[in-house]
């Protein structure tokens, strides 16, 4: 998307946001890619190959059934994910979204497990897939926050009861956490003035559904993503560019 077109679209979005106070940001791996993190698929993606070195698809290696059967294998790939996240800092887009809380009622629904929205200062974050830095016991109520896994013996065990630890993330073939689904349902029931889908492929129904809600309510909907996704034809405005560039043009335009 060329700069002239971006500025024109950004001005149109900004005008429609005038007086609007409640905004939902739906974010995926494409946003955190601007913090230097690999996306999950595609060229340079963390899981670009179809099979792991163990001869199974990554979706199988990182699944609930595999964790129960061979936790050491699942933990190896969880550690790969944490290693990619380690040391990453919030990007411009994370920081802009966090700053918007000063003027707006902002809710973030993110698929990312990197914790960067909270690190940037966002306070109302529904991390629907969890946070890889939060570890919990599979038997007792022990929990700990670990900023990196270095020095962690894999698979790790609970210091309180000796059972396996796991990150507080949703593995493949596992249900989404009910409390977070309830929180999302509560926020959606209240409705939003504007809905932004940023850097997500929108393949999961619970990620695409808010954009469908925006269409039903006649609310502003914007997609920021260089790729075409299932919601691209449903949004009011499509910005085929990076998250920081787009959000900067909309919310922090140059004088």
For the domain that residue 227 is a member of, what is the CATH number? Answer: 3.40.50.1220
Query: What are the residues whose beta carbons fall under 8 Å from the beta carbon of 227, sequence distance 6 or more?
Result: 30, 201
Do residues 236 and 215 touch, judged by C-beta distance below 8 A? no
Residue of 9, 77, 94, 129 with catalytic role: 129
Number of domains forming the structure of the chain: 2
Tell me: do 27 and 104 sit in the same domain: yes
- Is residue 151 domain-shared with residue 235, that is, in the same domain? no
Q: CATH number for the domain including 71?
A: 3.30.1600.10
Q: What is the pLDDT of residues 31-58, one digit of tens each?
A: 999 999 877 654 345 555 555 566 788 8
pLDDT digits (tens, 9 = 90+) for 227-247: 999 999 999 999 999 999 999
Does the residue 211 lie in any domain? yes
| pLDDT tens-digit readout, 63-95 | 999 999 999 999 998 998 898 888 899 999 999
For residue 196, the model assigns a pLDDT of 98
Q: Report the range of poorest mean pLDDT among 26-40, 107-121, 126-140.
A: 26-40
Q: Which pLDDT score is estimated for 20?
A: 78
Are 72 and 180 found together in one domain?
A: no
Question: Does the annotation mark 54 as catalytic?
Answer: no
The rounded distance, in Å, linking the Cα atoms of 165 and 161 is 10
Three-state secondary structure readout of 197-243: EECCCCCCHHHHHHHHHHHHHCCEEEEECCCCCCCCCCCCEEECCCH
79-118 burial, b if ≥16 CB within 10 A, otherwise e? bbbbebbbeeebbbbbbbbbbbbeebbbbbbbbbbbbbbb
Say yes or no: 181 and 75 in one domain. Answer: no
pLDDT of residue 18: 87
Q: Is 25 helix (H, G, I), strand (E, B) or coil?
A: strand
In-domain check, residue 50:
no
Q: Does pTM top 0.85 for this prediction?
A: yes
Q: Which residue segment(s) compose the domain that 78 sits in?
A: 58-86+136-169
43 within domain boundaries: no
46 is a domain residue? no
């Amino acid at each position: 998307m060329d700069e002239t077109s971006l500025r024109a679209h950004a001005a149109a979005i900004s005008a429609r946001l005038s007086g609007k106070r409640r905004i939902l940001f739906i974010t995926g791996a494409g946003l955190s890619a601007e913090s230097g993190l690999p996306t999950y698929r595609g060229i340079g993606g963390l899981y670009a190959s179809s099979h792991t070195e163990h001869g199974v698809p990554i979706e199988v290696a990182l699944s609930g059934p595999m964790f129960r059967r061979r936790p050491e294998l699942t933990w190896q790939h969880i550690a790969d994910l944490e290693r990619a996240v380690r040391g990453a800092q919030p990007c411009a887009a994370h920081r802009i979204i966090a700053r918007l809380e000063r003027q707006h009622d902002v809710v973030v629904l993110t698929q990312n497990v990197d914790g960067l929205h909270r690190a940037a200062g966002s306070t109302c974050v529904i991390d629907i897939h969890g946070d890889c830095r939060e570890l919990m016991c599979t038997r007792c109520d022990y929990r700990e926050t670990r900023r990196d896994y270095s020095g962690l013996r894999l698979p790790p065990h609970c210091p309180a009861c000796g059972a396996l630890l796991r990150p507080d993330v949703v593995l493949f073939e596992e249900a989404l956490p009910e409390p977070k689904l309830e929180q999302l349902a509560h926020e959606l029931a209240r409705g939003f003035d504007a809905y932004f889908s940023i850097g997500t492929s929108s393949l999961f129904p619970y990620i695409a559904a808010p954009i469908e809600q925006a269409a039903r309510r006649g609310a502003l909907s914007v997609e920021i993503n260089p790729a075409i996704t299932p919601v691209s034809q449903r949004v009011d405005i499509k910005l085929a560019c990076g998250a920081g560039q787009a959000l900067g043009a909309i919310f922090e335009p140059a004088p």
